[in-house]
Structure 1
Amino acid sequence: MTVGQGMAMVAKPWPIGGKGFPTFYRIIKSKSVGEFKVDPYLATVLNCTFWVIYGLPFVRPDSILVVTINGVGLVLELIYVCIFFFYAPNKGRKKVIYWLGGEIIFIAAVSLVILLVFHDHKRRILAFGIICDVFNIIMYSSPLTIMKKVITTKSVKYMPFYLSLANFLNGCVWTAYALIKFDIFILVSNGLGALSGAVQLILYGCYFRSTPRDEVIEPKASQIQLSVSDGPDGV
């Protein structure tokens, strides 16, 4: 995973779908995906889907906010994936098909097992909550690579301030929601997310002055959303 990819994945259950618009507008305009990567969006589809299932009445009743927000995010992510699929070369299209197919099988299998084995809300909440937290924590921890880079280079060039702020506010809002609803699973992952965002902001404050003036710029939306491939896992 590249630095750009890590920063691209704002954690769930807050939807990040709207943030992909500039990137895919550029793809549509150029009629090519270039070297952009679809990985963050495929990962977010998986995460959104599990949070939607978690908030459904047969798992956790009275969680309409979790369902609606992640439902909107899921729809937007799927639209972006479809746009990527339309403009991608054959290799990129095969990757999307394989990953989406694998995700559908994985989600269906896990959900079926949990629903058949556990017949009460308490144990279903526990099972789905753990799964959602795992994916949420992975997404919240993804900026660790960029934070390490900031410390080693003493530069915030690769850590956009507004994205770090969004991560922090996202974690705080969902932590507050979890405290009101007393939802331990939303609380744990988003509490860690708020802490991660706070650390990013502190690092930004510490290393902003040591960053060369010509480097203190906000990366283009395309650079934040989908990093240019620089590894063997590129499309």
Structure 2
Amino acid sequence: MEASLLFVGVVGNVISVLVFASPINTFRRIVRNRSTEDFEPSPYVITLLNSSLWVYYGITKPGGLLIVTVNGVGVGVVMEAVYVALFLLYAAPPLKAKTAVLVAALDVGFFGAVALVTRLAVHGSSRVVVIGLVCAFLNVLMYGSPLCAMRSVITRRSVEYMPFLLSFFLFLNGGIWTLCNT
């Protein structure tokens, strides 16, 4: 049983890396055109928050090394931070302001609040449980975040701005981690 769980965990980490790498072509296009066009920043801002919280969870949880490596400086946080920085660099002023507010509220404010509350008010093994519950809630947001592009898809009658690879790998990621935790 342990070997199969390890195998599923490694497959989950590989799929997680694919989640983080899936927007590379989108960001190549953004850099090439020097514009974010009609792409939405929400999936990348939320994924950055999610990765940051999973790193915090992995650091807090004994034996959380695999969680830290895939979400941390190895892949998740770094790639998502680059995506968000590119969004801030190439977005039109109104979208740049929206993105900055999202980053300040979620990636700085919400993350800081969770870290502060769990460090000061939650003690012992309950801390890991509380951080894990917050991460689980954010997974739901992260998996649904590509749907922010649905307005564009519907009004333009085109899937050009729908992040298909991100949606696909998030679907696989949710499935493999659900399998791993059942």
Query: TM-score, normalization: structure 2?
Result: 0.71
In structure 1, C-alpha distance between the alignment counterparts of 2:94 and 2:167, rounded to whole Å: 33
Report which of the two structures shows the higher radius of gyration computed on alpha carbons.
Answer: 1
Amino acid aligned to 2:119: L
8 Å CA contact 2:22, 2:166 repeated in 1: no
> Match of 1:14, SS?
helix
**1: CA distance, partners of 2:64 / 2:132:** 13
Deviation digits for residues 66-88 of structure 1 (CA, Å, limit 9, x no counterpart):
11111111110110111111111
Residue 142 to residue 107, structure 1, CA distance change in 2 (3 Å): closer
1:131 and 2:119 correspond: no
User: Would you say the 8 A contact 2:22–2:165 is kept in 1?
Assistant: no
Q: Which runs of 5+ in 1 are unaligned?
A: 1-11, 146-156, 180-235
Match of 2:63 in 1: 62
Could you tell me how far 1:162 is from its partner in structure 2? 7.1
Alignment of structure 1 residues 133-212 onto 2, 5 Å? 133-140=136-143, 166-167=169-170, 169-175=172-178, 177-178=180-181
Name the structure 2 match of 1:36: 39
State the distance in 1 between where 2:39 and 2:28 align. 13
CA 1:98–1:137 in 2, change beyond 3 Å: closer, same or farther? closer
* Percent identical: 38
Partner residue, 2:111: 107
2:23 is matched with 20
1:119 to 123, 127, 151: 123
Residues 172 and 35 of structure 1: is their aligned pair in 2 closer, same or farther, counting only changes over 3 Å?
closer
Count how many residue pairs are aligned between Structure 1 and Structure 2. 155
Tell me if the contact between 2:46 and 2:145 (Cα under 8 Å) persists in the aligned partners: no
Q: Distance in 2 between matches of 1:143 and 1:42?
A: 11
Return the letter of the residue paired with 1:39: S
Query: Partners of 1:164 and 1:98 in 2: how far apart?
Result: 24
1:109–1:169 CA distance, 2 compared to 1 (3 A): closer
Q: Which residue does 2:51 correspond to in 1?
A: 48
**The structure with more helix, counted as a fraction of residues:** 2
Structure 2: segments with no counterpart, 5+ residues: 1-12, 149-158
CA separation of 1:138 and 1:62: change in aligned 2, threshold 3 A: same
- For normalisation by structure 1, the TM-score amounts to 0.56
